[in-house]
Amino acid sequence: MNDVVASSPIRRHVVVTGGALGIGGAVSRRFGAEGALVVLVDIDEVGAATARAEIVAAGGACIVVIGDITDDETVSALGAAVDEHADGRVDVLVNNVGDFRPAKAVFFKSPPEQWERLHKLNYWHVLTVTHLLLPGMIERGSGAIVNVSTVEAFRGIPGNAVYSGYNAAVSAFTKSLAVEVAGFGIRVNAIAPDLADTPQTPAELMLAGRDPELIKSWVPLGRFGEPDDYADVVAFLASDAARFVTGQTIPVDGGTLAASGWYRKAHGRGWTNMPDHA
């Protein structure tokens, strides 16, 4: 399954965690279409196989590592795959894995074991995977790291205080690490998605029976995000076009964070900060 196949010369070596579906899947395919060797880590074996086939069909190459990236064994397997198939070289690391589940409705009812799982899903693996691959980037004097945070790191989100806190840590880590490694020619940035229509958070689930026209009230650009919306920004941050950008978390949210509690009125004329008047 992991024979390196590419129809054109491999340009860059890219690691994507959670790289099979949703935002991660779009990121993997985006880099694959550019002719990259994508080292894709995912817990979903079927989804990973599908992503690999599509990457190869598009002219890229793909190595698959199956496992939970929060487990030390999977991190070790990733390191071994990079050494074996990519000559130890990683040009771009995308720490994509994250989830707001499991979660209780309010913090005071949540058990500590849920905090631990959310910690590993949203923050711990960012540290372990970056710690694994950063020394090679330092040795080569180049590299780009893109982390995936969330807009919820920058605004309150009732019922998900722990998730929000760990993603705020991702953005803080991004900023501080960027300063530490800038002298080695390495850039570190992040994106902060919101309202992404993916298998993890499908639009149908978010709408919950509401009129789809209401999206225009919630999102200034008038629609939910598609995986490629996020992948394109990740690709930009990892590219030479962003060569003077580091330490930043870029909201990719259709304007929801900028609106900051304002809602477009249902008739389309004007805005309100009182949702019951929308």
Query: Please, what is the angle between helix 72-85 and helix 125-140, to 10°?
Result: 30
Catalytic residue, chosen from 163, 166, 230, 263, is 163
DSSP structural state of residue 196: B
Q: Phi first, then psi: what are they for 139, rounded to 5°?
A: -60, -40
Give the C-alpha separation, 153 to 37, whole Å: 31
Check residue 130 and report its DSSP letter. Answer: H
Within 10 Å of residue 268's Cβ, how many Cβ atoms? 9
Provide the 3-class DSSP secondary structure of residue 51: helix
Given its phi and psi angles, is residue 83 left (phi above 0), alpha (psi -120 to 50 degrees) or beta? alpha
Contact (Cβ atoms closer than 8 angstroms) between residue 170 and residue 119: no
Q: Is 163 a catalytic residue?
A: yes
Amino acid at 247: G
The Cα-based distances of 37 to 13, 52, 59, 269 in angstroms read 5, 10, 10, 49
Structural tokens at position 41: 């880590």
Q: Max Cα separation, the chain? A: 59
Residues labelled catalytic: 163
